[in-house]
Structure 1
Amino acid sequence: MDRAPPTTLDLMFEDIWANRIAVSILQSLLGPELMCHYANGNTALKAKGRQPVHSDIDKPHPLFPFAYAINIPLSNMNVENGSTELWPGSHRESNIEQHIALTDDEFGLAIKPEVVEQRRRTSPPVQPSIRKGSLIIRDIRLWHAGMPNRTDTPRIMLAFVIQPSWFQAPSKVTLPVKSKTVVDSWRANSGLEYAAQWVDGDVDHKKVNSDDVDFSTGNNKLLELEPLMHPATELASAL
């Protein structure tokens, strides 16, 4: 379930919204000018079901890093309360042809079952135990899946997606105008800018959702290179 962090000034902590350690690491990976295009959270309530294996980009995308999710758990995470299933190394081979549309369309695109099972034989997934307050830096191309929380206590994890400014991703974070001075100070302190949609009044964080999130590029020059965003074998056959 989506549950974004509150946008009241007394709860917009810089070490959460613009953590300098995380930003410094991402600047070394993506370049100095970074934009945050997503600020939300994942709350796992008690349940039995799990998500299909998927990545967070379901459009043709570069085969190099272009977006990272920063996750901050607000509770200890483990197998019992639904720590996210992660597939190490899968981001290095991620491409749109690995995906398949699900019939119920509840989760959008998922990784093809046969591709999942092929990788499971050589590089199976992990479900790590992570202490609350940790920084998790994840390439959004990495395969992963939400897992069931078997406890009575909600498992809460914040999520911020950061991309280089030149990538020109379209998604924006809805923020109250009264927070602009604070948000601008984060850019001065850490170098992280927010792709913000400024609104008057308060923002109800309980109504923020991920329905229209889009981490694809709006850079026209990069879009011209879409043929290079497919596996080498398919690219060769197209030439």
Structure 2
Amino acid sequence: MRGLFITGTDTEVGKTRIAAAMLRRAAQAGMSTVAMKPVAAGCDHTPHGWRNADALALQSAATVTLDYATVNPVALPEPVAPHLAAREAGRVLSLEALVAAYRDLPQADLAVVEGAGGWRVPLGDGTTLATLAKALGLEVVLVVGLRLGCLNHAQLTAEAIRADGCSLAGWVANCAGRPPKRADAQVATLREVLPAPCLGVVPRLSDASADAVSAHLTLP
């Protein structure tokens, strides 16, 4: 099963938007898909337990129906860094348990795994989400939030992905908020400096559904 790990240059850059759209793009190509958000910090309490909006979006976008706990094995209430949210919840994040949860996913043509925050968000005990991506052997798709500072953040993240022994399959420029000045020039620069293909440039959309966003993407 091929797997993609979706990371971002920062938090709130549209990782879920792109991850869900990648799932829909694959489905449109006739592929079966599964989705996973290993750790979600920032959940709402429901009659069915803690639920995270991003994980629910991924669950809905995949073609293979999975129960919530399979999609999001660790759901933490507080919207802070995962290791801090876990500490406040009295839990310990286990790299081995997260790897096992991924290995237990049903087979599909494509698995899309979304991280939390940026590339090296801590999980605790010296491990990060980058450690998880490497342990799973997943190719990485980098979501670049088009904003002031994104050129620096994108290059540093790409360098870190390579330094951590992972493969950058491609990147997506995403305009989730108000378009920055000279956005086209930013994208042109990113094409020059990032060592991977551009998989899409997503403008600000009135319809931000996964299907609508998928029209602006290609699969790596």
TM-score, normalised via structure 2 length? 0.28
Q: Choose between structure 1 and 2: higher helix proportion.
A: 2
Task: Pick the structure with greater CA Rg.
Answer: 1
For CA contacts below 8 A with separation 6 or more, give which structure has more relative contact order.
Answer: 1
